[in-house]
Amino acid sequence: MEDLNTELVKARRGPWLTRSSGILLGLVLACGGFLAGIKVQQSYGPAANAASAQQQQPNQQQLAAMMQGRGGAASAPTTGKVKLIDGTTIYLETADGRVITVKTTETTAVQTAAKAQLKDLQVGTQVSVQGTPAGTDTVTAATVTASAP
């Protein structure tokens, strides 16, 4: 029994909160906070706001179409040089080197200094296109305006 008491005294526990356990607890709390922040960002961050903005976009396009009296929404003009004309499709090269596909219809107005036709455009002509975006690099043109040479 004496050996047992001697061993118990030797094995006496120190304080449960030591420097290393405090550091470990701090790391666990920091990691938990980081993971919670990720979850909040996924739920309420810019990506969630972008998704809700995309859901509202068709209503904004419909409003713009009603205000303009056209069948589609207007976008900012796309400007570039005519790279190729293939039938009723114009391929524009923008200043940053992208090639934009411009689809024209019978109602697309092509203008220079005076009203013109699509066939009057030449490769290399600087043009400005106003129309409805139909994808990342495609526009359905309402108006194609050629700049003076």
Position 56 in a domain: no
Q: Give the whole-angstrom CA distance, residue 51 versus residue 76.
A: 22
129 and 87 in one domain? yes
94 and 39 in one domain? no
Q: What are the pLDDT digits (tens) for 80-110? A: 888 899 898 999 888 888 898 988 888 888 8
Average pLDDT score over the chain: 77
- Mean pLDDT (whole number) for 62-71: 47
Q: What pLDDT is recorded for position 32?
A: 94
Quote the pTM value: 0.38
Q: How many domains does the chain have?
A: 2
pLDDT band at 58 (very low <50, low <70, confident <90, very high): very low
Q: Give the whole-angstrom CA distance, residue 79 versus residue 77.
A: 6
- Mean pLDDT (whole number) for 29-52: 79
Position 3 in a domain: no
Domain of 128, in residue numbers? 78-146
- Mean pLDDT (whole number) for 40-69: 57
